[in-house]
Amino acid sequence: MSRSRAFTQVDVFGTRPYSGNPLAAVLDGEGIDDDLLEDVARWTNLSETTFVLPPTTPEADYRVRIMTPGGELPFAGHPTLGTAHAWLAHGGTPRHEDRIVQECGAGLVDVHREGSELAFTAPPLVRTGPLDDADLDRLVAALGITRADVVGHQWVDNGPGWAAVRLPSAEHVRDLRPDWSHAPDAKVGVIGWHEEGGEHLYETRAFVPGLGVGEDPVTGSLNAGIAQWLAGEGEVPHRWTVTQGGCIGRSGVLSLTVEGGEVRVGGTVTSLVQGTISL
C-alpha cells in the first residue's frame, strides 16, 4: 500500500533559481521496490531522482540510491549535493560539524559546507588513461568533429562511466551538434578553455544517451573526474570555476578546488518544490 512521503525538488549549480540542474529527492525511500524506483525516475523526467534510506554503516549519516531514466548509478555529483541539501532542510543532523557523510553505491562520500555552498570530495577514479582508438573514433564521429580537433582525451570514470574529450576552445564545445547514432551508449564530457583572462576557466558539456539523457545540464561527477585528470597533468590552478548548461538554456557554475591531492566540487543548491509524493 502506498503512503505519503516527503518529497522535494532542488536546483543544483544554478547561478539563479531554475538555471541549474534539477533533482527530485524522496526523503523516505524505505520499502519501495526496485521497479517502482525506476518508474518514479522515468516519471519525474529528470536526469536523476534520489531516494534517502537509513545508512548501513555507523560512519554515514544516510544512504542514497541514485536513479536515472535508464537505471541506477553508484555515484553522481549533483544528486550528492542536492540530496545533502534536501536532507539537511528536512531536519537531518550530521554526526560531524564540518561535513555530511553520504553512503552510496560508490562507498562513502564527504559533503562539506563551504559558506552558502556545499561541496563534495571527489571519489577515486575507477578507470583512467587515454581512450583507445576505437572508442575515440566512435566519439569523434558522434560529436561531428575530427581527430585533429581533439586536444586531449581520457577516461575519467568515478562510477557512471565517463570519458572526456578536450577541444581547442569553449566555442568549439558550444558549436557541437552531436549525432548519437554513432555512439548510442556514450557517456562523455567535452571541455574547452574560455578566453584567457575570463572569469571561468573552461566550458563543459555532458552527453549521456546511454542513460536516456541526451544532454545533462550541469554535471558534478563528470567535472570531478575531469578535475582529477587535469590536476594530474598540472593543467589547473588551486581553485577555479567552470560553466555548463548554456547550450540548453541553463546557467550553471561549478567551483573546484585541489588541495593535498583531493578534489572538491561545489556549487549553490536551492530548494524550489516541497511537498509529498504517494509511493
Q: What is the pLDDT along the chain (279 residues), one digit of tens a residue?
A: 789 999 999 999 999 999 999 999 999 999 999 999 999 999 999 999 999 999 999 999 999 999 999 999 999 999 999 999 999 999 999 999 889 999 999 999 999 998 889 999 999 999 999 999 999 999 999 999 999 999 999 999 999 999 999 999 999 999 999 999 999 999 999 999 999 999 999 999 999 998 888 999 999 999 999 999 999 999 999 999 999 999 999 999 999 999 888 999 999 999 999 999 999
User: Which part of the chain is CATH 3.10.310.10?
Assistant: 4-122+266-278, 133-249
What is the CA angle 103-106-109, rounded to 5?
50
Cα–Cα nearest to 233, from 130, 138, 147: 130
Q: Which CATH architecture has domain 133-249?
A: Roll (3.10)
The CATH code for residues 4-122+266-278 is 3.10.310.10
Q: Are 13 and 20 in contact (CB under 8 A)?
A: yes
Whether this prediction's pTM lies above 0.75 is answered by: yes
Residue 91 — φ and ψ, nearest 5°? 105, 5
With a CB cutoff of 8 Å and minimum separation 6, the contacts of 10 are: 22, 23, 25, 82, 85, 86, 269, 270, 271, 272
Q: Which helix (H) or strand (E) holds 87?
A: helix 77-89
